[in-house]
Amino acid sequence: MSTSKTELKDLGKFKLIDLLTENFKTKKKSSTYGIGDDAAVIDAGIYYTLVTTDMFVEGVHFDLTYAPLKHVGYKSVVANIADITAMNGTIEQITVSIAISNRFTLEALQELYQGIYTACERYEIDLVGGDTTSSPAGLVISITAIGKVAKEKLCLRSGAKPYDLVCVTGDLGAAYIGLQVLNREKKLFEVDPNMQPQLVPYQYLIERQLKPEARADIIQLFEKLKLLPTSMIDISDGLASELLHLSKASNVGFTIHEDKLPIDRLTYETTEALHLSPTLCALHGGEDYELLFTISQADLPKIEGNPNIHLIGYITEPTQGLKLVTNSGESVNVTAQGWEPL
């Protein structure tokens, strides 16, 4: 009998999920799609119900040294909205459960819930339940989101086909660079508590980290353009990781181009000032909460010239691998190096 033990750090988040859930099979007819996408898909008759859960842990997902509780509450809701949006759906309700230590006051928790309330107002969501319990240390937030999508408009990770076009919304890498700026200023503050953080020049980057927005507007745009992506996923763990998820789910390869990656000017300038690679930050930074999706070539005219959508590459046969064409014309393999909490 083997007594060897596997360290969780040797697995990573997604391999761990695969191993823990490999023996679970759906038995209910209404359980249309289970583990493996941005949200579970439940057959509710004339439409699909979408269900997703995200957990935020103090010291892992947020640092209260520089993250206001109001922003933590807002961001925790946005992360769930992004998952529902990635299924081409709209969110309707959330439940919120928290575990808190005795160092938190009533006023602190009211600030946290003010952020949750603000997100609910912004995205027209109902808070319909949850739970509260004690924690030996720190703050834990778990949110379950419930949404819906018309059956004929559901988008999964598994629908990409060779020759489809690869697109992203918005810009990439800003949230990660915002985090680097905040951590830099925190270290300076720890050395000299009298110093004033220099954050004003980085307002856009910091907002992308502390108070991101989900791209629910893109779902409305798809409706207006009469466009149905062939596959879709939200960019929470980094573009490279999400590309690999789509590749695995759809059994395809892809080629993307470095010069097509959308990087904001301030992100680009700040990465260079921090001696980081703008391309690597765009590929592996995470927490952008933008959308990565594929479309058929026939739908290209629908997105051409739209400032919200950027064409970055195309889908290939699986035998052609997962490639990035660099600015120098070199073709290199894409691997996942995105942020993982384990």
Tens-digit pLDDT string for the chain (342 aa): 456 777 766 666 666 666 666 666 776 677 676 777 889 999 999 999 999 999 999 999 999 999 999 999 999 999 999 999 999 999 999 999 999 999 999 999 999 999 999 999 999 999 999 999 999 889 999 999 999 999 999 999 999 999 999 999 999 999 999 999 999 988 887 887 777 777 888 999 999 999 999 999 999 999 999 999 999 999 999 999 999 999 999 999 999 999 999 999 999 999 999 999 999 999 999 999 999 999 999 999 999 999 999 999 999 999 999 999 999 999 999 987 644 443
**pTM assigned to the model:** 0.91
pLDDT for the residue 20: 67
Q: Distance from CA of residue 235 to its chain's centroid?
A: 4
Residue 191's Cβ-side half-sphere holds a number of Cα atoms within 13 Å equal to: 6
CA 55 to CA 176: how far, in whole Å? 19
Token pair for 23: 């023996």
Cβ neighbours for 314, distance < 8 A, ≥ 6 positions apart? 163, 164, 165, 166, 254, 255
Element (H, E) at 300: helix 300-303
CB 55: neighbour CB atoms within 10 A?
Answer: 16
Sole residue written with tokens 């209404």: 30
CB 260: neighbour CB atoms within 10 A?
Answer: 14
Helix (H, G, I), strand (E, B) or coil at 145: strand
Helix axes 265-273, 174-191, angle to 10 degrees: 40
CA 263 to CA 271: how far, in whole Å? 10
Q: In terms of Cα–Cα distance, which of 246, 268, 263, 217 is closest to 318?
A: 246
Taking the CA atoms of 222, 278, 8 and 243 in sequence, report the sign of the dihedral they define. positive
What single letter denotes the amino acid at residue 127?
Answer: L
In angstroms, what is the C-alpha Rg of the chain?
Answer: 20
pLDDT for the residue 31: 66
pLDDT for the residue 273: 93
CA 171 to CA 187: how far, in whole Å? 27
pLDDT for the residue 2: 54
For the chain, domains (ranges, CATH) are: 25-153 (3.30.1330.10), 165-333 (3.90.650.10)
